[in-house]
Chains A and B, each alone.
Chain A
Amino acid sequence: MADENSTPHKRGPLKSSVGSAVVQRRRDHAVTVRKERREALMRTKRLCRVGVSSDDADVTIDADMATDEEQSVLEDQTLKSIEELNLAIAYQGKGAMQKRVNALRELRRLLSKSEYPPVEAALKAGAMPTLVHCLSFGSPDEQLLETAWCLTNIAAGKPEETKALLPALPLLIAHMGEKSSLPVAEQCAWALGNVAGEGEELRDVLLSQGALQPLARMMLPDKGSTVRTAAWALSNLIKGHAKAATELIRLDGVLDAILRHLKRGDEELATEVAWVVVYLTALSNVATSMLAKSDLLQILVDRLASSNSLELLIPVLRSLGNLVAGDSYVTDNVLVAGNEITVRVIQVMIKCLSSEHRVLKKESAWALSNVAAGSVEHKKLIHSSGAVSILIRLLSTSPFDIRKEVAYVLGNLSVAPSESGRPVLIVDHLVSLVGGGCLSGFTDLVRSADIEAARLGLQFLELVLRGMPNGEGPKLVEAEDGIEAMERFQFHENEELRSMANQLVDKYFGEEYGLDA
């Protein structure tokens, strides 16, 4: 394999001009490949390279870029293996089953090992009807397994290729039944996970055909790779579908299994189950409510505290964020300011804020802002937790999207709701935030092109101008070039921002400003 990539100029000076052309072609090929590869990486589908039962020890993963010649050789081999398969199916004599399995295995290998499996060629050669036939009831397990594996990889690529699996879906769902062997059921679940990952249309088809229940059942046992694959497939299946999410949580044993896996499962399993929880809490109020009343919050906090796997932390953090954002039961009853759980929640959010990972910083700031939107006690708790210095530092140094979330936290810390409807300024908090140096970060937001951020920045400046004791506000704002920042809005196309900025400048930096300096 390394030979194909060695530079041509080693062959000798006469060949060098040819060599550079080849190199250029590879380079051009590489640019287009990168786009395709990027798309492949972004998909929620997963190619199956090593089978679920891992019997096959001779699968070598060939990640090198296939040249045109290699690709066409692959396609020829694919056509050949499908011919073989058709012959084997027609053959009625002794050893027919083994012939079929061998042919399927060959096709499966061709579809598993290269970077760009020859899916299109396979479909063109009529692989689908043949594979559907191989899924017939009563077929031996080995045959079902290899067939489902082939279908998995056919469905792992482009949309039209995934859609080609439509005729196979009812059978794949059926073979996930409780009487099926575990590896077969798992491979079918994998294939269906890819189909569900394609889009709304196919998800709807799968749900109508009854894919939800068998997948949910497969998630109930304590361990095994099947549980993990089923959880992943479920996350793809309920993704956009509020009704399916609600239906899922109501199925017998599902809630218990989710909690169990999150609490005791290994990190890989917990990751996939956490994504299921992400969609449950984001889509279904019924699910959120049920989960809020369970032990989930505690379990999520424990995971956040103990794990360092980014893959796991992302969905666990987001689930926590969804719970806090969505259900007032959580903030009113569980995260009561006196409870220990509340302190722990804030602590793990601080841990994520201090992480080096952008996603964790951003989403934990968001979650924290929702806790800070609660009662005055919540705000005091956060304010005294040590989060503030971290937040102010993030406000000055991190990428924009994080800074915006941090601004929400600090803003929410500075005002409290009141019965009259007019928010009450918490002067202590404001003074310490400004003293900690948050003003320059807020002025930067005022200057940004993002309307929401600029609005938030202006609102905070208003607090400072109005609320800082001894009338210090205007001087402090001026020192950060706040006046200049606000004056930029004179020619800004957004009328509300113009009005807000002008009001502040007129009121606080009018004629009398600086007279008693």
Chain B
Amino acid sequence: MAMEVEVSVTGLNFPFLQPVRRRFGPDALFFEAGNIERQLLAKQVTLDITDKEKQQIQSMEDWGSSEVYCPIVGCGAHLLSLEDFEDHYIARHMASCSVCSQVYPTSHLLSIHVSEAHDSFFQAKVARGYAMYECLVEGCDAKLKSYKNRQQHMVDKHKFPSSFEFFKKSRPSKKQRQKTQRKQAVHKTEDASTAMQVDQENIDSLVSAVSRLSTSESPSSISFGRRHTRGLTFVPRAVQKEKRPGQSSEQPKR
């Protein structure tokens, strides 16, 4: 099934949908269910197949062809069916931050995020020169002194793309956006970061609750998705304080 990759005037390098005619060989997996049905129907009388037995056989064949491995980097969990995959994903790859709702596919990444984004204790240690920024790859114990240094470590040691930005402000929901826009209209010089409250108690309980076993050992070089650089990536609070209070646009940027 070849789809042409087109660089359009919009600058996207995207394989646009094309109409395509598909042909299958007689032994293709695609036809298996029909082939099985043929045999079952043909032998229904001679071999006295009950409906229940038929269902059992058909469902066994279903599992055989729809087994799947979780495609999230570092996971590789074996799942019996595609329906199972969705359950698995929700259970294992939707660790979400209770403060800012950002979602991460592993609890390891979530806990790093929580420390770096919502923990003033973390920021305090950074300010005193401790190496607090952990490497993102599980199993690598490197700790770096600054966000930028950690970024460089990911590029140098783990071949991350240099445009990769792990942290970004979460895009709030439509409701939140509207709320903030309204607030903006009323309080023009408001500096409060509604999305940035540090609730120490919550953080502690969250972090301790995030005690899942990490997913299987990740490969030594993981490449995360590329993202175009955004105008304003997340900047740690320590740096943010230097900004002028007039820059009150709470419009979350990506």
Residue from A61, A318, A400 in contact with B66 in the complex, judged by beta carbons closer than 8 Å: A400
User: Does B25 lie at the interface of the complex (its beta carbon under 8 Å from any beta carbon of A)?
Assistant: yes
Stretch of B82-90, B189-197, B237-245 that contacts chain A: B82-90
Mask for A337-375, Cβ within 8 A of B = 1, else 0?
000000000000000000000110011001001101110
Q: Place the interface of chain B in its size category.
A: 35 or more
* Contact, CB under 8 Å: B26 / A503: no
User: From residue 101 to 117 of chain A, which have CB atoms closer than 8 A to chain B?
Assistant: 115
Q: Is A462 within 8 A of B22, CB to CB?
A: no
A240 within 8 A of B: yes
**C-beta contact mask, A385-397 vs B, less than 8 Å → 1, else 0?**
0000000000000
Measured between alpha carbons, how far is A37 from B50 in the docked complex, in Å? 12
Task: Determine the main DSSP class of A at the interface with B.
Answer: helix
CA distance A478 to B38 in the complex (A): 44
Cα distance, A49 to B36, chains bound together (Å):
21
Which segment, of B117-125, B141-149, B151-159, B218-226, faces chain A?
Answer: B218-226
> CB < 8 Å: which of B15, B19, B82 contacts A412?
B19
Measured CA separation A517–B176 after assembly (Å): 12
B225 and A503 within 8 A (CB): no
User: How long is the Cα–Cα vector from A358 to B36 in the complex, in angstroms?
Assistant: 12
Please tell me if the beta carbons of B31 and A318 are within 8 angstroms of each other in the complex: yes
Q: In the complex, how many residues of chain A place their beta carbon closer than 8 angstroms to a beta carbon of chain B?
A: 93
The reply on B186 being an interface residue by CB < 8 A is no
A499 within 8 A of B: yes
Q: Are B82 and A449 in contact (CB under 8 A)?
A: yes
Interface status of B47 (Cβ within 8 A of chain A): yes
B30 within 8 A of A: yes
B23 contacts across to A, CB distance below 8 A = 322, 325-326
**In this assembly, does A514 line the interface, its C-beta being within 8 Å of a C-beta of chain B?**
yes
Residues in A320-334 with C-beta less than 8 Å from chain B: 322, 325-326, 331
* Closest 3 pairs (CB-CB, A-B): A459-B17, A282-B26, A63-B48
12 A–B pairs (Cβ distance < 8 Å), ordered by A: A369-B22, A373-B19, A400-B66, A400-B82, A408-B22, A423-B16, A449-B79, A466-B10, A490-B225, A491-B106, A509-B254, A511-B253
Chain B positions within 8 Å of A, measured between CB atoms, are: 1, 3-4, 6, 8, 10, 12-27, 30-31, 33-34, 36-43, 46-49, 53, 57, 60, 66, 68-74, 79, 82-83, 85-86, 89, 93, 103, 105-106, 171, 174, 177-178, 181, 223-228, 230-231, 251, 253-254
